[in-house]
Homo-oligomer: A and B are copies of this chain.
Amino acid sequence: MIVEMRTGAAQEEVDGVVQRAKELGLGIQLNLGTNKTVVALLGPNTGQLPIDIFAVLPGVERVTRIMKPYKLASRDFKSEDTVVSVNGVEIGGKRIVVMAGPCAVEGEKQLMAAAMVVKEAGACILRGGAYKPRTSPFAFQGLEEFGLELLRQTKAQFGMPVVTEVVAPHDVARVVEYTDILQVGARNMQNYALLTEIGKSKCPVLLKRGFSATVTEWLTAADYLLAGGNDQVILCERGIRTFEDSTRFSLDVGSIPIVKKSSHLPLIVDPSHAAGHYSVVPALAKAAIAAGADGLLVEVHPNPKEALVDGLQSLTPSDFARLMTELRSIAEAVGRYI
């Protein structure tokens, strides 16, 4: 942590900073510059220390954190890649894992049809939402427990693990009974009550990036899960909110190499929510794999025209099958396979 004093700060102001640092057991290095005094504070946990503690002291102009605020999710903490294993499917290994299915579970027929086509095309995990966090209270909110039941049946019939979202802390225990991977949606990335509850379970969890969270905040949110004792964490980039409105969100493809460098956790990409339109999904999916993602989460609907939620960004079965063929070539080009 670097504490920069104001030009002309008094000696007792510098002393105040040094005093506070000593109280906190930090190492101190004073730099008496030509027109500024800069104090470097050293210690193993300075990343977790609020910068306000020093920024608020008299004579201080600015405090810069050198250590990252996240810890357990970092490569400094664990250097080898984490591989999350779900019923024999490994996420974060050499194989690119494609999770696909409808945005929302709408009924038995729809879910079974979706499972069949995505499995046939090469997806190995089925997605489908039973609890839907919707912007408007007047919109379809999901089939809830009945949706979970349908996921269980479909999983039994097709032998595919499933991923589904949980939106409230008190639902965690129930959803864990039905799913193989818990999904934390973008709007809940900083829902700490929810993260804390999921941290207590041992169920693999897919943590979507909040659409205006920095990579650092995202990895710090992962620390909530890891600190709670759940180390089966999969990250999911799904686009950030920017001024550009020709796509629903802007896929932050740059976050892929950044996360791979900074963290040991596996990372997949959701091209569907970023795109917002089926015609844009394939380009984003291919870009994600080329950039180094470990997998994808893709919305596929047997009949997008009849979808209750997000039909516009859902691929048809034939579009998805074509995309999978293209993805196999890309995966190979980067030394992986699907």
Contact = CB atoms under 8 A, between A and B. Distances in A.
Nearest to A191: B191
A11 interface: no
A44 interface: yes
Contacts of A216: 246
A255 interface: yes
Contact of A287 (B52, B194, B291): B291
Q: How large is the interface on A (under 10, 10 to 19, 20 to 34, 35 or more residues)?
A: 35 or more
Contacts of A246: 214-216, 254-255, 258
A261 B279 contact: yes
Contact of A220 (B135, B242, B275): B135
A31 B168 CA distance: 44
Interface of A: 2, 4, 7, 27, 29, 31, 33-36, 38, 40, 42-45, 48, 50-53, 55-57, 62, 64, 66-67, 69-71, 76, 133-139, 167-171, 187-188, 190-194, 196, 211-212, 214-217, 220-221, 223-224, 227-228, 239-247, 250-258, 261, 274-275, 277-280, 282-284, 286-292, 304-305, 307, 309-314, 326, 329-330, 332-334
